[in-house]
């Protein structure tokens, strides 16, 4: 019904209908407030080592935190920061945080960058360390989303790993050319 039709038919609503509508309205408001409280992030927060305990260890009950340790001037770190910005908007109930590696962990080696740590209630649930884990500069946002979803931090709508699995052609051809063993073979024949 349109607003005008509702106003015309207002007298036709019984008190019971009004109570039901009010109950529905209150329930819907409570749902919206819960969703709003849950979806309170939606961006990547830059922190320093001093913020680590407050922002990660004490993030809160049932709060997943994705921490990206990076360094300026490393192209793969810049690419991951860009992908994380999109993922933070897509998953506003997850806290996405980035920090220059040496501000959080003094003397953290550059060879371990980029690094992503996944936390739940202050405990590390997954870690992705070094450029090989991410597959280099061809890393897509979907591939990063899939990788993080494997830790349980986000619920992806992707149905399969977007990264094409590299098949070892040599091993595949060897497996295909090996004759199958006969199960009925006599032990003395071997």
Q: 95-100 and 64-70 as β-strands: parallel, antiparallel, unpaired?
A: parallel
Q: Return the SS3 of 18.
A: helix
Residues 75-114 pLDDT 10s: 999 999 999 999 999 999 899 999 999 998 899 999 999 9
* Cβ neighbours for 79, distance < 8 A, ≥ 6 positions apart: 137, 139
What are the backbone angles phi and psi of residue 89, rounded to the nearest 5°?
-70, -35
Q: Is the pLDDT of residue 176 over 90?
A: no
Residue range 47-67: mean pLDDT, rounded: 88
Highest mean pLDDT among 14-28, 42-56, 137-151: 137-151
Task: Using alpha carbons, select from 101, 96, 92, 91 the residue that is nearest to residue 69.
Answer: 101
**Rounded Cα distance, 121 and 57, in Å:** 7
Rounded distance between C-alpha atoms, residue 173 and residue 163, angstroms: 22
pLDDT at 35 over 80: no
- Please say if the pLDDT value at position 140 is more than 70: yes
**Total residue count of the chain as it appears in this document:** 190
Residue 97 in 3-state DSSP?
A: strand
The Cα–Cα gap between 149 and 151 comes to 5
Average pLDDT for 171-175: 56
CA dist., res. 117 & res. 129, Å (int):
8
pLDDT band at 54 (very low <50, low <70, confident <90, very high): confident
């Amino acid at each position: 019904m349109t607003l005008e039709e509702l106003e015309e038919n207002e007298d036709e609503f019984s008190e019971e209908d009004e109570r039901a509508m009010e109950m529905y309205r209150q329930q819907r408001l409570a749902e919206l407030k819960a969703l709003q409280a849950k979806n309170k992030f939606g961006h990547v927060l830059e922190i320093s080592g001093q913020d680590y305990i407050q922002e990660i260890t004490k993030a809160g009950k049932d709060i997943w935190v994705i921490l990206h340790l990076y360094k300026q001037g490393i192209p793969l770190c810049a690419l991951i920061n860009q992908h994380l910005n999109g993922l933070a908007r897509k998953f506003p109930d997850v806290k996405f945080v980035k920090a220059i590696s040496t501000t959080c962990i003094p003397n953290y080696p550059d060879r371990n960058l980029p690094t992503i740590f996944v936390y739940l209630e202050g405990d590390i649930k997954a870690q992705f360390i070094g450029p090989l884990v991410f597959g280099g500069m061809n890393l897509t946002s979907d591939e990063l989303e899939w990788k993080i979803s494997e830790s349980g931090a986000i619920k992806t709508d992707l149905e399969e790993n977007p990264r094409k699995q590299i098949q070892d052609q040599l091993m595949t051809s060897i497996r295909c050319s090996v004759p199958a063993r006969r199960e009925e073979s006599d032990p003395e024949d071997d």
